[in-house]
Amino acid sequence: MLIHTTLALAAALPLAAALVVGLRVLVDATRPSERWVFAVVETSLVLSLVATASVAAQWAGLIGDPLRGEVSFGDWLRLGDYYIPAIALVDAAAVALGTLGAMLTLLVARFSRTYLHKEPGFVRFFTLLALFAAGVQLVAYAGALDVMFAGWELIGISSALFIGYFHERDEPIRSSLRAFTTYRLCDAGFLMAMVSVHELVGTTRLAALQDAATLPAWEVEVIAGMLLLAAMGKSAMLPFSGWLPRAMEGPTPSSALFYGGISIHMGLFLMLRVAPLLAAAPIVEYIAVAVGLTTAFYATSVARTHSDAKGALAHATLAQVGLILAEIALGFTTLATVHLTCHALLRVFQYLRAPNTIHDAHRLGHAAIVHPHPSASPTPGRLLRYGAALHRLRLEDRLDGFIAPVLRLARALDAFDRRLRGAPRAESV
Amino acid sequence: MVRHTAPATEDPLARALAHAAGVLPDQGPIGVFIHHNTLHAYQHLPFHEAVQSGAARVGARPYLPLDEFRAAFARARIERRDIDAALRELLGADAEAPGPLGLTQASAWRALMIEPVDVTDAAGFRYAIAEGVSPIAIDRARWDAVIARVARGPTPAPTPESLPTRHREMLQRLTAEDIDAVVHPELVRLSAGFLDQGQAVDVLPGRERGFLAAVATLYASGLSGPRGAAAAASDLARLAAQDTVSADEIIRDVLDALEVPAEHREEYLLATALALPGWSGMFSRLERHPEERADAVTPVLAEFLAVRLLFERRAIERVCSARGLPSAWTALRALLPASAPVDPLEAGLVLLALANAAALSTAEVGALDDASLRACWQLRAAATTVRRQQVFHEAYEGRYRRQTLDALAAHRAAALARRPAARAAAQVLFCIDEREESIRRAIEELGAEYETFGVAGFFGVAIDYQGLYDTTPAAHCPVVVVPDHEVHETPIAADLSWHVLRERLRARWNGFERAIGRGSRTLSGGAGLSFVLGPLAGVAAAGRVVAPRRTLAFRDRVLARFVPRPATRLSALREEWTKQASSRGKPVGFSLQESTDRVVGVLRNIGLTSQFAPFVIVLGHGSTSLNNPHESAHDCGACGGRRGGANARLFAELANRPDVRAAVRERGIDIPDDTIFVGGLHDTADDKVQLYDLGAIPPSHDARFETICVMLERARRESARERARRFDDAPLGLTPQQALEHVEARASHLGQPRPEYGHCTNAIAVVGRRALTRGLHLDRRAFLISYEPAHDPGDAILERILAAVGPVGAGISLEYYFSSVDNGRFGCGTKLPHNVIGLLGVMNGHQGDLQTGLPLQMVELHEPMRLLLIVDATPESLLAVASRQAEVAELVTKEWVQLVSVHPLTGDLQVFKAGAFHAYTPEAITLPVVDRSVEWHGRSREFVAPAQVRAALAEIG
């Protein structure tokens, strides 16, 4: 059936492109030409966009009868009692994210064709981009939590690898590691929620999540809480916001796509997906509203103090993401979907233009911000507010204190391992 | 509350600060980029000495890495005889003296240069040999014999370790902990908040009271310190409570606490300032250049260092007490090993290279006696990496110098034999910029009736210029000159009412655009604007990325249709009797006398004093690109990093005035009445040529002017084509029209880190008659400065030219030199992660150092060499000029440029080296001859050797 084909192609083509490029690099030691890599990846992205647009058309009823709801591909995996259904769910939110994701990825790919030209990591960049595109389509159309999780992880790993793109310097590696660690920690929530839903409801299909609402209240709260944790990590909500400014270490187009466009909004999409569950968990709803609004206020004040173009933009984005989280938790899902889509479009463009700041300042005659004449002496309150925003509440230091023992253990194990094999000592990062 | 004590010179702090001001990057806010010698503080030293000590000081490479030189040798960019010549120069009489293993010194050195004998990655090297993938593994037995022989001794003397100065490096070696990772993020945020010139909404409160005071007050409000140096917060808070705080005292206190001995303090402070060179440098630069500050902020380097050291001290103490190490400088340093033994691998490579050069058999290698080995190690100790790089560098330059001078000599006869037209159809004046070489050649190829000239692109009119939409006037002249005049662009009377209306619209639109930028960062604004502008932004982004050229062209057409720019004129003339001073107290416009001086001066400089064509086109240059924080670096250096269009327009207007013409005629330059000067601007990014004030052209000239326009249209397309061949992503063999569209697309693309290659190709400067170089394909590598020695018996013109061109040319050449040899340290690395901060500059990622110098994308094609300054004048004239111009003398005698004299009459070449001119005998070569330039360069992406272009040498039949 057409819907099966188009759905499958939307995700499979970019994945195939990533595999083709990756395999060629593995098999053939010579570096493939930029032209070839770009042709492979761009073709897959264009076709993926066509496929996802056609899904949208079928959903809207432009091709045949309007198609809503689940589309089953059978089982992905069956292990005794446990099975993962390969199932898609076509609805407004899915179509919105699928189309938006495919469009923005293609846009950024075109942008990066010239931007990344001659860059030693050209092949890596486009391979990761294809992987990301596949991840977005998987998440968008996933009909079950497991399928979604697969896409979720593809997005996470490509995000971390993009942050560490300039791996010859230490700072990007540190930042990449931090994002990765945060993702891992929060994804544990996703994983546990998934298993719990499976155990308690019998299936992880999103369409069956309403049934979960009939579970005992505390169980629903715990499951929703764990999903919220996953969303908070991916969307850099407080207290996990520390990795976001560090993510600016990557090349500008990937920053635009991930932290202006798609990846940062992924947590929100998850919340939209599990809205029925959330609606049955009032405590988690309150927490989500609180987290969203706190993050929004926090990020706005940080954005005010940031002197760098990308850092200010990252926090401005984060503020809106916090706001949208609150909207979802309050039940305004349609508003949230529209807000999310429009916001992603705006930020991607702003990110892509971020290096133009100085040109714009010249063009507009003077700086975008003219500092008012200072008052005689700043009040302690203003100082404290400024300092807290400047140092971002020292979130990172606090988190460092929390994860330092873990890192120490990991280093000790690594050193032990290296001693066993007689390998040289690792540089500390 | 901050007090600065006037430092005594014996004070190590004062000395360190004075020294730091020289060594730190001297780059102001990036909106105006001025090319300068990155190691300007070392310019009083001879070149090699300066780059070696300067680079060692900042921890950079002084020359290209040896690997790159070896690659250049492999592709014959450097030839063997160039290496030999350079070695003879370095070793002098010792070159032929016996060296190790029966080789001469020179051949032993050469062996160590050509063969890779340095190991950067020992583990990888061993692995490659073990796996048999290293070229050395081909003759495994030989390598084993070498290693066995090395193992029997004697071993090379151990290399003395250069002991670190700062605690940070010592602790890093001892504990692998990096205290800068604690201090830098804190410092970068504070500095950015303090120096911000208009990006952050909130800046450091109370910053107008100085960095130290503002930071102290900030922490006194109860803010905690960073993890790892938390105690520094209370130190700072305590300072805020004191009546007077002196940065010097704080620095002294910290150094006392860390027990840094007095004799090492200067060194210590310098190293501390250099730990975050970009930000330290910005404090230092703005401290010395108040005109570059925004708002009422007074940066002081000492205050920055004081705050830095307060954090650093606590971080050091914390690590030391946690690890049980002493924090006292001497005690900590004593814990470090003083020298490291030489890796036998490295010794083996040296022995192998020398044995190969001496053609020893494997058995002979095994049987070498101890004395031979010792001789090898002695040579190894003498031929250090830097020394070998120095020799390679000389050879690299020598090869290019040879090629250029030979070509110039071979071209001379043909060039001087050409009989120029009695009256040219047009004379085009360009900036001396080497990027204009291609369009000049293209114009000359289009007809014998076209002549071109090169003159510093401010065309003798040093002005503070305020364009129609500029908020303040800006200096349009070389940075060393302070303009005496102001010139404004104002709308003509007929367009005045439209101007007023448009101005109002513009102000409203700009306010709106600023409000968007700022509003989208707020909570409510961000939400509201998302809904309103999100979809529009999506459409705009798609247009700008998919079809950048068309989208921008469409926008420009719409704007020109509905809100055209009003016609303007310049306030060029000032009546003698009026003051007409601007609000800044400078006279607005030039008086008749001043105008005449400017016009005569330029025409004399370039030797255009008779035989004027009907059209004299004066073209300034500038560059437009998007998403390019380094945009200004592509503008005109002679206009102080701005565009030269206004200067060209002004010069043309002055030269067209009948009263100026009459006065000029009195001074002996007769400009015919039918000669029209036309000013314009050449955009070096998209090769657009825009001409000004065409209304001044009388109807009698219409038909002829059309021909000129067609000529310029063709020339700029040809220039675009010549440029396009260097861009890997433009296919070779484009038509001129396609090439033009290609460069236009580059300049309008948001995702284009290489809108143009800038001064990347600079290598030569020729001061002299264009006749010497007309018809010679110089591949956009030569600054071309017109100079007529026959008109200059007293060398006064030559002196003026060299005083202006020497420093500007050397500044560009050396900025490119340093950014190329060590792009990470002297340059600013790849553009891709660059993040614009505070309108000051760029940094990598979210909180790093300010990156100064040129980005990788601008220098990737550059061949780092000192400027080859070729002057159409006798050695005597040049020495006379140098004796009067101290800066020129310094550049020449310290060999920061390579000066060559071409005798105006005989064409004899003399190269200045080691304090004197030495005759150079060119090799008799046959220059390749082509009809048109494109035949010579059209099929290659690389640099091309000089060739003769017949079309440009044609005579009017």
In the DSSP assignment, the letter for residue B206 is T
Of B227, B471, B845, the CB nearest to A249: B845
Give which of A49, A110, A304, A307 to mutate to test B binding, by max B Cβ within 10 Å. A307
Residue A54 lies in a domain: yes
Nearest residue to B828 via CA among A204, A163, A28, A355: A355
Judge whether residue B628 has pLDDT over 80. yes
Residue A235 lies in a domain: no
For B229, the domain range is 12-30+164-333
Contacts of A354 in chain B (CB under 8 A): 835-836
pLDDT tens by residue, A103-120: 999 999 999 999 999 988
Work out the minimum CA distance from B185 to partner chain A, whole angstroms.
9
Residue B617 lies in a domain: no
What are the DSSP calls for B389-403, one per residue?
HHHHHHHHHHHHHHH
CB contact under 8 A, A114 and B201: no
The answer to whether B152 and B366 have CB atoms below 8 angstroms apart is no
CB contact under 8 A, A361 and B839: yes
- B518 close contact with A: CB closer than 8 A: yes
Of A250, A306, A382, the CB nearest to B205: A382
Specify the pLDDT at position B921: 93
Contacts of B542 in chain A (CB under 8 A): 107
Q: Which of B562, B580, B608 is the last residue of a domain?
A: B562
Closest-approach residue (CA) in chain A for B190: A390
**CA separation for the pair B709, B717 (Å, rounded):** 12
Three-state DSSP class for residue A131: helix
Residue A43 lies in a domain: yes
For A17, the domain range is 1-143
Residue A128 lies in a domain: yes
Work out the minimum CA distance from A310 to partner chain B, whole angstroms.
6
Residue A174 lies in a domain: no
Size of the A and B interface in Cβ pairs below 8 Å: 282
In the DSSP assignment, the letter for residue B547 is S
Within 79-138 of B, beta carbons closer than 8 Å to A belong to 123
Closest-approach residue (CA) in chain B for A426: B176
Closest-approach residue (CA) in chain A for B175: A428
CB contact under 8 A, A114 and B749: yes
- B556 close contact with A: CB closer than 8 A: no
**CA separation for the pair B522, B492 (Å, rounded):** 42
Judge whether residue A370 has pLDDT over 70. no
Quote the number of domains for chain A.
Answer: 1
A354-358, B230-234, B241-245, B848-852: the lowest-pLDDT one:
B241-245
Of A165, A253, A390, the CB nearest to B193: A390
Specify the pLDDT at position B685: 93
Of A114, A249, A339, the CB nearest to B530: A339
Specify the pLDDT at position A212: 78
CB contact under 8 A, B753 and A115: yes
Q: Is B834 or B421 the better-scoring residue by pLDDT? A: B834
Specify the pLDDT at position A82: 74
- B626 close contact with A: CB closer than 8 A: yes
The answer to whether B766 and B870 have CB atoms below 8 angstroms apart is yes
Residue B303 lies in a domain: yes
Closest-approach residue (CA) in chain B for A244: B846
Closest-approach residue (CA) in chain B for A121: B832
Residue A261 lies in a domain: no
Specify the pLDDT at position B8: 46
Q: Which of B505, B532, B562 is the last residue of a domain?
A: B562
The answer to whether A84 and A144 have CB atoms below 8 angstroms apart is yes
CB contact under 8 A, A304 and B834: no
The answer to whether B779 and B943 have CB atoms below 8 angstroms apart is yes
Judge whether residue A366 has pLDDT over 60. no
Residue-averaged pLDDT of chain A: 88
List b or e across A160-191, with b for residues whose CB sees 16 or more CB atoms inside 10 angstroms: bbbbbbbeebebbbebbbbbbbbbebbbebbe
Nearest residue to A271 via CA among A324, A320, A345, A319: A324
Judge whether residue A365 has pLDDT over 70. no
Polymer length in residues for chain A: 429
List b or e across B713-737, with b for residues whose CB sees 16 or more CB atoms inside 10 angstroms: eebbbbbbbbbbbbbeebeeebebe
Residue B392 lies in a domain: no
> How large is the average pLDDT for residues B802-819?
91
B124-133, B177-186, B275-284, B375-384: the lowest-pLDDT one:
B124-133
Judge whether residue A427 has pLDDT over 50. no
End-to-end CA distance of chain A: 51
- B524 close contact with A: CB closer than 8 A: no
Contacts of A189 (CB under 8 A, 6+ apart): A225, A226, A227, A228, A229, A230, A233
CB contact under 8 A, A368 and B196: no
Of B205, B531, B836, the CB nearest to A309: B836
Contacts of B294 in chain A (CB under 8 A): 367
Q: Give B569's strand partners.
A: B490
Of A307, A342, A350, the CB nearest to B531: A342
| Beta-sheet pairing, B776-777 with B782-786 | unpaired
| Beta-sheet pairing, B764-768 with B474-476 | unpaired
Specify the pLDDT at position A360: 84
Closest-approach residue (CA) in chain B for A34: B729
pLDDT tens by residue, B779-803: 999 999 999 999 998 899 999 999 9
Contacts of B64 (CB under 8 A, 6+ apart): B389, B392, B393, B396, B820, B821, B864
Give which of B177, B202, B471, B859 to mutate to test A binding, by max A Cβ within 10 Å. B202
**CA separation for the pair B381, B309 (Å, rounded):** 38
Within 722-761 of B, beta carbons closer than 8 Å to A belong to 728-729, 749-754
The answer to whether A104 and A132 have CB atoms below 8 angstroms apart is no
Residue type at position B913: K
A394-398, B261-265, B655-659: the lowest-pLDDT one:
A394-398
Quote the number of domains for chain B.
Answer: 2
Q: What are phi and psi of B178, to 5 degrees?
A: -115, 105
A375-389, B301-315, B396-410, B454-468: the lowest-pLDDT one:
A375-389
Residue type at position A230: A
pLDDT tens by residue, A246-257: 999 999 999 999
CB contact under 8 A, A345 and B626: no
Give the CA distances from residue A99 to residues A54, A133, A328, B760, in Å, rounded to whole numbers and listed in that order.
10, 11, 21, 43
Q: How confident is the model at residue A134 (pLDDT cuts 50, 70, 90)?
A: very high
Closest-approach residue (CA) in chain B for A108: B545
Of B218, B628, B754, the CB nearest to A387: B218
Judge whether residue B654 has pLDDT over 90. yes
Which residue stretches of B155-210 are H helix? Answer: 167-175, 180-195
Contacts of A257 in chain B (CB under 8 A): none
**CA separation for the pair A414, B703 (Å, rounded):** 81
H or E stretch including B806?
A: helix B796-821
Q: How confident is the model at residue B6 (pLDDT cuts 50, 70, 90)?
A: very low
Judge whether residue B578 has pLDDT over 70. no
List b or e across A361-373, with b for residues whose CB sees 16 or more CB atoms inside 10 angstroms: bbebebbbbebee
Judge whether residue A149 has pLDDT over 80. yes
Residue B616 lies in a domain: no
Closest-approach residue (CA) in chain A for B537: A346
The rounded Cα B79 to chain-centroid distance in angstroms is 28
Specify the pLDDT at position B480: 81
Contacts of A415 in chain B (CB under 8 A): none
In percent, the amount of chain B with pLDDT more than 70 equals: 98
Contacts of B30 in chain A (CB under 8 A): 358
